[in-house]
Amino acid sequence: MVEQELSGKICVVTGAGRGIGKAIAISLAKIGGHIICVSKSEESCGASAQDIRDQGYSAEHMAVDVSSAESVSAACKNILDKYSAADILINNAGITRDNLMLKMSQLEWQEVLDTNLNSCFYWTKNLLHPMMKKRWGRIINMASIVGLIGNFGQANYAAAKAGIIGFTKSIAREVASRGITANAVAPGFIRTDMTSKLSENIVAELLKNIPMKELGTPEDVAETVKFLCSHGAKYVTGHVINVDGGMVM
Ligand code: NAP
């Protein structure tokens, strides 16, 4: 078998059941990583892992609610018992609960913060120490351009994504001397289930502000993540890379 860039690397990808996370899981598997596909429902992460194996690559799945500290902790214990460390952690799972600030409930705020931001803390907290001992690692957190510029009806989501950026830059500084990089990727508008609810009118409005005049694909985001996971990206840390067709420059 040909040695590939990520051969022997254990890659945890959250939100791998659909959309961007699934595209990331497939792209890392294709370059040799063993992918642990995590999502909320057993059905979706199981199907992603099966898809990857059907294509001849290596994957398993774990249904984990990433918003629960206890569930993430138990999942990480299983991973560490089996593999002693994860090499690559992609914190990608996320949700939206959009509402105008005047109408936003505490539950809508809390669910978005727990799923998008607190989950990054839980996974990183559990997997960082063994990664530091290996003196090699890649942490990539999925932000959003909304975390940079805000968005109407998304105070909760923008706060979570901006929080992810600060979190990423801080841990990048803490682990840089241990061969670990930490970066954030900030997609613009990507065609997935998350954006499928947008009406054609809203999409038409959005396109006016996208110089490339089209929405992105999950694969566009996955290619950037793949680069950040590569050995070639070893000197890139603490950054936010926008994948947004030029929307925010
Ligand atoms: P998506 O199609 O809605 O998929 C979300 C994935 O996250 C699913 O696999 C889902 O699991 C998982 N997930 C949600 N809540 C979870 C929980 N509590 N525990 C475990 N897994 C959970 O979303 P997407 O569009 O691919 O977005 C992926 C990431 O990119 C998110 O962080 C999102 O904020 C970010 N992003 C997306 C866009 C965009 O335009 N699409 C733009 C900027 C940023 P199940 O499959 O089990 O439901």
Q: Ligand 1, closest atom to CA 115? A: 18
The string of DSSP codes covering 140-207 is EEE--THHHH--TTBHHHHHHHHHHHHHHHHHHHHHGGGTEEEEEEEE-SB-STTTTTS-HHHHHHHH
Structure tokens at 180: 């670990």
pLDDT of the residue at 1: 53
Task: Show me where the domains of the chain are located.
Answer: 10-243
Query: Mean pLDDT over residues 84-102, rounded?
Result: 98
Half-sphere exposure of 2 (CA within 13 A, CB side): 5
Q: What is the pLDDT of residues 53-70, one digit of tens each?
A: 999 999 999 999 999 999
In this predicted structure, the answer to whether residue 2 has a pLDDT above a threshold of 70 is: no
What mean pLDDT is predicted for residues 11-15? 99
Specify the pLDDT at position 197.
87
Phi, psi of 36 (to 5 degrees): -100, 105
Confidence of residue 154 (pLDDT cuts 50, 70, 90): very high
Within 13 A of 197's CA, how many CA atoms are on the CB side?
Answer: 5
- What are the tens digits of pLDDT across the range 128-149? 999 999 999 999 999 999 999 9
Q: Is the CB of 171 under 6 A from ligand 1?
A: no
Residue 109 has pLDDT above 60, yes or no: yes
- Can you list the pairs that 106-113 forms with residues at least 24 positions away whose Cβ atoms lie under 8 Å? 108/156, 109/155, 109/156, 111/67, 112/156, 112/157, 112/159, 112/160, 113/156, 113/159, 113/160, 113/163
User: Mind listing the pLDDT tens digit for each residue in 169-187?
Assistant: 999 999 999 999 999 999 9
Q: What is the dihedral of CA 147, 149, 151, 155, to 10 degrees?
A: 50
Asked whether 95 lines ligand 1 (CB < 6 A), one says: yes
List residues with catalytic annotation. 157
Residue at 114: amino acid letter:
D
At 164, which amino acid appears?
Answer: I
What spacing in Å lies between the alpha carbon of 177 and ligand 1's midpoint?
31
- 25-52 pLDDT, tens per residue? 999 999 999 999 999 999 999 999 999 9
Residue 210, ligand 1, Cβ within 6 A:
no
The closest-lying atom of ligand 1 relative to the alpha carbon of residue 218 is 26
Contact (CB, 8 A) for 240 and 247: no
- Closest CA to ligand 1's atom 19: 65
Domain 10-243 CATH class label: alpha beta
Ligand 1 near 18 CB (within 6 A):
yes
Going by alpha carbons, the residue nearest to atom 44 of ligand 1 is: 144
Query: Percent of the chain scored above 70 by pLDDT?
Result: 99
Q: How confident is the model at residue 3 (pLDDT cuts 50, 70, 90)?
A: confident
